[in-house]
Amino acid sequence: MLKNGFYGAEAHGAYETASIGRLELEEGGVIEDCWLAYATAGTLNEDKSNAILLPTWYSGSHGAYFQTYVGAGHALDPEKYFIISVNQIGNGLSVSPFNTADDSISMSKFPDVRIGDDVVAQERLLREHFGISELFAVVGGSMGAQQTYEWIVRFPDKVKRAAAIAGTAKNTPHDFLFTQILNEAIESDPGFKGGEYGSHTEVADGLRRQSHIWSVMGFSTEYWKGEEWRTLGFETKEAVLSDFLDPLFLSMDPNTLLNNAWKWQRGDVSRHTDGDLAAALGRVTAKTFVMPISEDMFFPVRDCAAEQELIPGSELRVIEDNAGHLGLFGMSANYMPQIDRNLSELFAS
């Protein structure tokens, strides 16, 4: 186990952990003690019909939702709903390469995990620990959207409503290549040592290069051109990198990012239907809103719209935001109002 202070309540907000025991993975690996970090808000009602699940995104955690999306005045209102965000496996808060006590899966030995493994683990956690057998809604951004799609295809009877924000049901080839360059930034650092570094700080150069790739793909050309980062208090574009993206990514654990990236690259609900995406999405019975961000460089609206057309009764709700994919952080003033308006409508349906 390595120490990495970033993965704790101070940076991500309070959370609890629970084990679902042994988890056999789609790719053949096993996590003997699969413990998940999760956070909740609100109260589960008597018939357990008001639970909303928020699966997490790459490099993110429950904290990204609880700091921005959840609260009084938001659609994700703890006065009405029991809101639970479960951190994805390998994200640094749930069981992960650097924090597992099981030496057989530590660091470079951590097994490949798929989106489906996360959803199976979450379903078990909700059922066994909370007695929840049906979700009022699943709402997720980016890799959280991948998990949302997996939920409504794998367990169509267990989800009433779904919102997939800035993500796809089947990853695209371009997105696969994008994630590959994120990975290569880390793996090429001599300090990475094939995943057997002694501290994430030894991979600082690779993490910084990944941060810089995010500066190109995470925001949009319009965001940079309009210097919209000034609303965040920065005075130069260089400061957005050196004072925001770099410190964030340099805090992170490299194996954690790589494990989640492997999963991200292979998200594909059509694995349930022999590669037939239309058949997979045709299974969906949840009322589904597909919510791409207008200026997303790697989950472009048209890719999301093409999937939305395959989902019965679904609606395309484009979120207008020059921030692009990283708009997910809610950094533009007009972002959360759009999210809240759409989710409110979804929840009322």
Query: Which residues are at the interface with a copy of itself (CB under 8 A)?
Result: 172-178, 180-181, 184-185, 188-190, 205-206, 209, 212-213, 215-217, 219-225, 227, 237, 241, 297-298, 300, 302-303
Q: How far is the CB of 261 from a copy of itself (least distance, A)?
A: 14
Distance CA 264, CA 143 (A): 6
Q: How far is the CB of 48 from a copy of itself (least distance, A)?
A: 41
Q: List the Cα angle 293/298/299 in 5-degree steps.
A: 45
Contact 64, 71 (CB under 8 A): no
Closer CB to a copy of itself, residue 44 or residue 213?
A: 213
Helix (H, G, I), strand (E, B) or coil at 165: strand
CA dihedral 115, 116, 117, 121 (to 10 degrees): 110
Q: How is residue 190 written in tokens?
A: 């001599």
Q: How far is the CB of 114 from a copy of itself (least distance, A)?
A: 20
Distance CA 131, CA 216 (A): 44
Q: How far is the CB of 14 from a copy of itself (least distance, A)?
A: 36
Closer CB to a copy of itself, residue 156 or residue 190?
A: 190
Distance CA 139, CA 69 (A): 10
Longest distance between any two alpha carbons in the chain, whole Å = 55
Give the DSSP letter of residue 70: B
Closer CB to a copy of itself, residue 137 or residue 164?
A: 164
Closest by alpha carbon to 166, among 323, 271, 61? 323
Report the catalytic residues.
142, 296, 325
**How, if at all, do strands 35-41 and 16-19 pair?**
antiparallel
Residue partners of 190: CB distance under 8 A and separation at least 6: none
Closer CB to a copy of itself, residue 172 or residue 273?
A: 172
Q: How far is the CB of 160 from a copy of itself (least distance, A)?
A: 31
Q: How far is the CB of 178 from a copy of itself (least distance, A)?
A: 5
**Residue 140 Cα distances to 52, 64, 305, 331, angstroms:** 10, 11, 17, 17
